[in-house]
Amino acid sequence: MTPPDTHPERTYGPVAIALHWLVFALVTAQMLVGWFMPDIKKNTPQEGLVDLHLSLGAATMLVVLVRIVWRVMRPTPLTTTMTGWERVLAKLTHELLYLLLLVIPLLGWAAAGFRDYTVRLFGIPLPPLADHTMQWAHTAGDIHMDLTYVLLGLVGLHALAALWHYFVRKDQILQRMIPALKRR
């Protein structure tokens, strides 16, 4: 059993915690909307859940960008309670999560342009990344969907790792993101 990590410089601040859970909420909402929205076909109109999906994607991308900037400005080092391989795996997982959380919305944005949809961020129309003549943007939509499953798997592993630290290792890793959680 490893000792608790009590160094305050190794905990996340309230802004980082809020951004983490906001991204989680947006991705969860996005996945639910994506699951229930109609399949995008040639003449599928941009309305209802399709329009909401596009807006949530733009908002997610914005919040992830803010989160990355915040993390660069206020880095939180990996804790001393983790082994070398855990540190490498944690760093790789976080970098892949950030990458996917940016690439997936960008691919969706390109695919939206192929469908002549307008992506809006808080009601403000964003310029298209592609148009209906660019076949690569149609392919971007397929990759967008495939990478979503990769993201889901990675989020699942991330959550399992947090639970493993809490229940098995009994260190303070999970409490860094949920400070109100009591020590075990």
- Concatenating the DSSP letter of every residue in 63-125 gives HHHHHHHHHHHS--PPPTTS-HHHHHHHHHHHHHHHHHHHHHHHHHHHHHHHTT---EETTEE
pLDDT value for 176: 87
Q: Considering only 5-9, 71-75, 94-98, which range has the smallest mean pLDDT?
A: 5-9
**Structure-token match 């949809």, residue found:** 117
Q: How many CA atoms lie within 13 A of 35 on its CB side?
A: 8
Share above pLDDT 70 across residues of the chain, in percent, rounded to a whole number: 92
Between the alpha carbon of residue 91 and those of residues 33, 78, 95, 143, the distances in Å are 30, 8, 6, 24
Domains with residue ranges and CATH for the chain: 8-176 (1.20.950.20)
Give 120's strand partners: 125
The pTM of this model reads 0.90
Q: What digits encode the pLDDT tens for the residues 99-149?
A: 999 999 999 999 999 999 999 999 999 999 999 999 999 999 999 999 999
